[in-house]
A and B are shown apart, each in its own frame.
Chain A
Amino acid sequence: MAALVLPAGLLVALLLVAPMVLLFRISLNEYSPTEMMREATTAANYLRAVGDPYYRSILLTTLTVSMGSTLLTLGLGFPTAYWLARMESRWKSFATIVVMFPLLVGNVVRAAGWLALLGNGGAINSSLMGLGLIASPLPLIYNTGAVVLGIVAVVLPYMILTLSAVIESIPRQVEEAASNLGAPSWTVFRRVVLPLALPGVAAGSVLVFVLCMNTYASAVLLGGPRFKMMAPAIYDQFVRGNNWPFGAALAFILLTITLVLTILGSAALGRRYRRPKEELS
């Protein structure tokens, strides 16, 4: 059996580990405007990324937008996931496809669609101006709100599908038993459904958070030129600035922070799940 894992293992080694090792090596090099980069072993790129207020603010924006989007996705996704998981009619598979449908539309295409809807010359603004309700376009786009909206629309299906798989594994009788014992719906949710769904909440949130941290298209197209997140900043260093060592350092900072937060988050949720709750509210 172990041999069957070999091809996939080799592929991961070749396509993921090797570039990562290479990238890490580059991040320790020195930037040179004339010869692109010089072989070195320096932490200067990392120190610059952490020390420069500009890049610190980009990192902070990426973190707050990612956490905010993850929480919003969780809040929006849970009721839908529950509804989908408990659905019994023959429309269930149809509803699942509807939930998955946004995944078929690429991020760029989707962001372009948001532009057409929310932009200054977009559908909403032009109809409101056409009706004479507003004189100048509303700032519906090129702000944090628009980016979060774009991100949530992209990641919501992942959250819903992950959660509903876990909720489906919670026997309905367990919920019925709680309400039979006198628990109103909200208490059934808080004391029974949510604790049992925590593994799904953890898995869905981790997945979504990682996707958010690496957002590119939504940030560039809906955030506008002055809005910056990590992924576009890394792209800028590699392609526009030609500063590979610094870009590589930024990439590694993004990778490390995502990894650490993911591990901490799932460990916290995991511990809560394993320990039976005995304290009574």
Chain B
Amino acid sequence: MGSLVLEALAKRYGTSVAVQRVDLDVRQGEMVALLGPSGCGKTTTQRMVAGFVAPSAGRVLIGGVDVTQAPPHGRDTGMVFQSYALFPHMTVAANVAFGLEMRRVGRAERDTRVREALRMVRLDGLEDRLPRQLSGGQQQRVALARALVVNPAVFLLDEPLSNLDAKLRGEVRLEIRALQQRLGLTTLIVTHDQEEALTMADRLVVMDRGKVRQVGTAEELYERPANPFVAGFVGQCNLVEGAMEGTGMFRAASGALLPCAATPVPPGRHVLALRPERIEVTPAADGSARLRTATYLGPLTEYHLDLDGTPLLAIRPTPTAGEPLRRLSSGDAVTVSWDASAARLLSAAQPEELEP
């Protein structure tokens, strides 16, 4: 068991940069998610922690010990691979026993621990099966048991749910989280699925093109995104380019005026970030916005609106049959409003462009 520290970790392949710089401190027992679109460097970062990729710069510390130069087999990390990577020629029990064998755990203790690990993931009774005789969900639980049975200092999950069907995914997500908390595992999970990251991790690291865009809890990232990328990647968000015009008003590039309470105004070009659920929609013949389409999603309805040339998305609870909002159809005029403090003003420039 231990903490995981990444110090100025970077990876370059020739002239192309896979990871520009990652600094991260994962506390003992904490679960941190590396979140970002494909090619953002999250997988490379995790592989540097596991020791499969040699960093170009920086250090990896596990439990306070520098393991940057250590080979994968000397790092005491337990990894669950996206493809599960079970040993196809070994039984379930032999798969789970492998790590204990490598650690020279005696036969009796090994058998006990394998049995316990399989019970923990509810696979008792399948010890003698081969991986190909198991369902995808069962294979994934074998992979979990195999990684956890050795009590790794750091638990690594690489897109662990991407090969499961949607129904199973929700269950396994909760199961993994419960296991991780019960065992107090220091965990680094890689995912491109924001819902997965938001529901499982204590903190999230949002990455884009080899750079860390923001680190924080799910709430921090959602309520106070540091830049337009994070605002758009974590949850849905209206991002409107333009500039502040006087106090309390934002002039969109299209000409529309949007209320915004941001003060003081930072220098440079700006993007207004407004969560769709913060926008109120009211039918009004003299309204300045028009409804383009309304999409019924059961409990919620999405309203795609146009405010003087600026497209806006609003998400409201689906109105009951009697409400006037229910009778709205495409092309109708509406008024839109929101609490001016709900609109966040973000710098349009990427952070590194502001650095000298």
The answer to whether A177 and B79 have CB atoms under 8 Å apart is yes
Of A182, A187, A191, A280, chain B has the most CB atoms within 10 Å of the CB of A182
Determine the distance from Cα of A278 to Cα of B95 in the docked complex, in whole angstroms: 10
Question: Interface SS of chain A: helix, strand, loop or mixed?
Answer: helix
Within 8 A of A (CB), among B54-77: 71-73, 75-77
Contacts of B315 in A (CB 8 A): none
The answer to whether A173 and B94 have CB atoms under 8 Å apart is no
Chain A nearest CB from B165 CB (Å) reads 21
Determine the distance from Cα of A248 to Cα of B185 in the docked complex, in whole angstroms: 73
- Bits for B68-92, please: 1 = Cβ < 8 Å to A, else 0: 0001110111110111011111110
Stretch among B99-107, B215-223, B287-295, B341-349 lining the A interface? B99-107
User: In the complex, which of the residues B85, B89, B98, B99 contacts A173, with contact meaning CB atoms closer than 8 Å?
Assistant: B85
The answer to whether A277 and B89 have CB atoms under 8 Å apart is yes
The answer to whether A178 and B87 have CB atoms under 8 Å apart is yes
Of A180, A182, A273, A276, chain B has the most CB atoms within 10 Å of the CB of A180
The answer to whether A278 and B98 have CB atoms under 8 Å apart is no
Residue on A nearest B76 in the bound complex, by CB: A182
Whether, in the assembled complex, A236 has its beta carbon less than 8 Å from a beta carbon of chain B, the answer is: no
Chain A nearest CB from B115 CB (Å) reads 15
User: In the complex, which of the residues A180, A191, A277 contacts B79, with contact meaning CB atoms closer than 8 Å?
Assistant: A180
The answer to whether A192 and B102 have CB atoms under 8 Å apart is no
Chain A nearest CB from B148 CB (Å) reads 11
Whether, in the assembled complex, B296 has its beta carbon less than 8 Å from a beta carbon of chain A, the answer is: no
Whether, in the assembled complex, A196 has its beta carbon less than 8 Å from a beta carbon of chain B, the answer is: yes
Whether, in the assembled complex, B117 has its beta carbon less than 8 Å from a beta carbon of chain A, the answer is: no
- Bits for A168-186, please: 1 = Cβ < 8 Å to B, else 0: 0001011011111111100
Contacts of A180 in B (CB 8 A): 50, 72-73, 75, 77-79, 147
The answer to whether B72 and A174 have CB atoms under 8 Å apart is no
The answer to whether A177 and B81 have CB atoms under 8 Å apart is yes
With an 8 Å Cβ cutoff, the count of chain B residues facing the other chain is 34
Determine the distance from Cα of A182 to Cα of B104 in the docked complex, in whole angstroms: 10
Within 8 A of B (CB), among A181-233: 181-184, 187, 191-192, 195-196
Whether, in the assembled complex, B190 has its beta carbon less than 8 Å from a beta carbon of chain A, the answer is: no
Whether, in the assembled complex, B281 has its beta carbon less than 8 Å from a beta carbon of chain A, the answer is: no
Residue on B nearest A176 in the bound complex, by CB: B52
The answer to whether A182 and B73 have CB atoms under 8 Å apart is yes
The answer to whether A176 and B85 have CB atoms under 8 Å apart is yes
Contacts of A273 in B (CB 8 A): 89
Residue on A nearest B146 in the bound complex, by CB: A181
The answer to whether A177 and B85 have CB atoms under 8 Å apart is yes
The answer to whether A176 and B98 have CB atoms under 8 Å apart is no
Determine the distance from Cα of A191 to Cα of B82 in the docked complex, in whole angstroms: 22
Within 8 A of A (CB), among B129-174: 130, 146-147, 150
Whether, in the assembled complex, B97 has its beta carbon less than 8 Å from a beta carbon of chain A, the answer is: yes
A-B contact pairs, 22 of them (CB 8 A): A171-B85, A174-B86, A176-B85, A177-B79, A177-B81, A177-B146, A178-B87, A178-B98, A180-B50, A181-B73, A181-B146, A182-B73, A182-B99, A182-B103, A183-B73, A196-B88, A276-B89, A276-B90, A277-B90, A278-B91, A280-B94, A280-B101
